[in-house]
Amino acid sequence: MSLSSAPQHIPAAQQAYQALHDRILRLEIEPGQSVSEKEISSQIGVSRQPVREAFIRLSQEGLLIIRPQIGTFVSPLNVEQIHEAVFARVALECASVRIAANVATERDIRDLYDNIRAHGQASDDGEMDLVYQLDAAFHIKLLEISGHPGLWKMVNQARSHMARLRQLSVTKMSNTSSQAVAFHTSIVESLKARDGEKAARQLKAHIEQNVDYMDQLIEQMPGYFET
């Protein structure tokens, strides 16, 4: 978790935030686990002040719970928040993909297919961090094609609330990554056919797939969830 290799122009608070954020989303720090400013600052090689700032930011995003005089803990997965994130993503991304179907160029389609091939290879190789990056790149590209790249900030915030659930699904369930590749392929085929409504239906099903296993995961790991 050392930040010694991080670019020096990035403020220490941002570096601390990104390191903690990524570890929480990857479940390297589990829901309910306590974290301390002293321990984290020692691990990543910065003073406690930027770690404190990172803690505050993560608590505002709902990933940490700060209890004065008691401690700081990783938040459980909030079921209501996850459902709201799904709702927001469906609303924003499906509206955008309908537009994308009318304006996508041949180059756009090629770029999307290239992404899908790389995604599939990364999945086969077990490179899950790369899988997550390529999945994000696919959704960013759809927004860019539609002419609304700025929506990614909102989509990504919603996506972060779903990330730990997805990580659990990848760990505990099978074929979630291959299913994502299949959905992406069908979405691009619909874009190529200029069928925006079909692309939107497939994208909606793809996004909602993230919660398909939630009830089963809650039953298996009740301590990870806030219901």
In a domain, 67, yes or no: yes
Determine the structural domain holding residue 29 and report its residue range.
12-75
pTM of the model: 0.83
Evaluated on CA atoms 170, 18, 162, 182, the torsion sign reads negative
SS3 label, residue 49: helix
Burial label for 95, CB within 10 Å (0-12, 13-18, 19+), is middle
In a domain, 2, yes or no: no
Identify whether residues 66 and 170 lie together within a single domain. no
Q: What is the pLDDT of residue 1?
A: 45
Q: What is the pLDDT of residue 161?
A: 85
Identify whether residues 50 and 91 lie together within a single domain. no
CATH at residue 71:
1.10.10.10
- pLDDT, tens digit (0-9, with 9 covering 90-100), for 162-211: 989 988 877 665 556 788 999 999 999 999 999 999 999 999 999 998 88
Mean pLDDT value of segment 100-129:
95
Mean pLDDT value of segment 124-141:
92
Identify whether residues 65 and 103 lie together within a single domain. no
Identify whether residues 71 and 171 lie together within a single domain. no
Residues 202 and 183 sit within 8 Å (Cβ to Cβ)? yes
User: 158-177 burial, b if ≥16 CB within 10 A, otherwise e?
Assistant: bbbbbbbbbbbbbeeeeebb
- In degrees and rounded to multiples of 5, residue 66 shows phi and psi of -100, 120
Check whether 11 has a pLDDT greater than 90.
no
Identify whether residues 57 and 116 lie together within a single domain. no
> Could you give the number of structural domains in the chain?
2
Identify whether residues 43 and 121 lie together within a single domain. no
Check whether 98 has a pLDDT greater than 90.
yes
In a domain, 1, yes or no: no
